[in-house]
A and B are shown apart, each in its own frame.
Chain A
């Protein structure tokens, strides 16, 4: 079975500082990996996804993530955080032949002035 761990429940970052949100997954074969963002009162929006190929993937809003098989990780990064990035971020894992995604419990990002 697949599982996803997001070790940080909350993270506070100063505006303009860099950001890294951690995601670790458990799955035997090559996973499909996703990062979603949820603004308050909204549904989830896809930021980026990894299926195969280049392990560094670019997403919307200036986000990127790197797949590291040796560490079973798919960490989300942004070089300079804006106040509008304050939201909850979810990592998810799927796989070829699976009909569902498994989500982590989320990391709430707070941006301080």
Chain B
């Protein structure tokens, strides 16, 4: 299994509070991703990174920010959590996305509940 650790795995918070989810990898892969999974919507990309300090937005990036100061860590921050951000968040990594070996490896997910 790919070495991907997400923390925390479960979190309950209140509307308006900041939340940071962490993704840590031991594979030295270049690409890192944050997806959210919601019933009826599948997986939707929030943000991704293609290198240290290089990030880009996905299809549902509003209300989220990310940072990648080291190859191994990719942080997802909700500056002021809302109930619509209640979801399961998955981190994924890839060594060579867009080339002939590109595939994603997923973490086990972080379940966030915003009350």
Binding site for B on A (CB under 8 A): 9, 32, 34, 36, 41-46, 49, 51-52, 90, 92, 94-106
Answer whether A100 and B100 are a contact pair too, CB < 8 Å, given A43-B107, A43-B108, A90-B42: no
Chain A interface: which of B43-51, B63-71, B78-86? B43-51
Docked-complex contact B109 and A97, CB < 8 angstroms: no
Contact partner of A99 (CB less than 8 A), chosen from B4, B42, B48, B103, is: B48
Query: Top 4 A-B pairs ranked by shortest CB distance?
Result: A43-B106, A105-B42, A103-B43, A44-B106
Answer whether A98 and B98 are a contact pair too, CB < 8 Å, given A43-B90, A44-B90: yes
* Listed residue (A43, A52, A96) with the most chain B CB atoms within 10 angstroms of its CB: A43
Binding site for A on B (CB under 8 A): 4, 31, 33, 35, 40-45, 48, 50, 56, 58, 90, 92, 97-100, 102-109
Contact partner of B99 (CB less than 8 A), chosen from A41, A96, A102, is: A96
Nearest CB in chain B: distance from A92 CB, A: 8
In the complex, A97→B102 CA distance in Å? 10
In the complex, A96→B56 CA distance in Å? 18
Docked-complex contact B108 and A94, CB < 8 angstroms: no
Answer whether A49 and B45 are a contact pair too, CB < 8 Å, given A99-B31, A99-B98: no
In terms of DSSP, what is the predominant structure of the interface of chain A?
loop
Docked-complex contact B99 and A98, CB < 8 angstroms: no
Across-interface contacts of B90 in A (CB, < 8 A) = 43-44
Contact partner of B104 (CB less than 8 A), chosen from A52, A95, A101, is: A101
Docked-complex contact B100 and A94, CB < 8 angstroms: no
Chain B residue with Cβ nearest A43 = B106
* Listed residue (A32, A44, A97) with the most chain B CB atoms within 10 angstroms of its CB: A44
Docked-complex contact B109 and A43, CB < 8 angstroms: yes
In the complex, A102→B58 CA distance in Å? 10
Across-interface contacts of B103 in A (CB, < 8 A) = 34, 46, 49
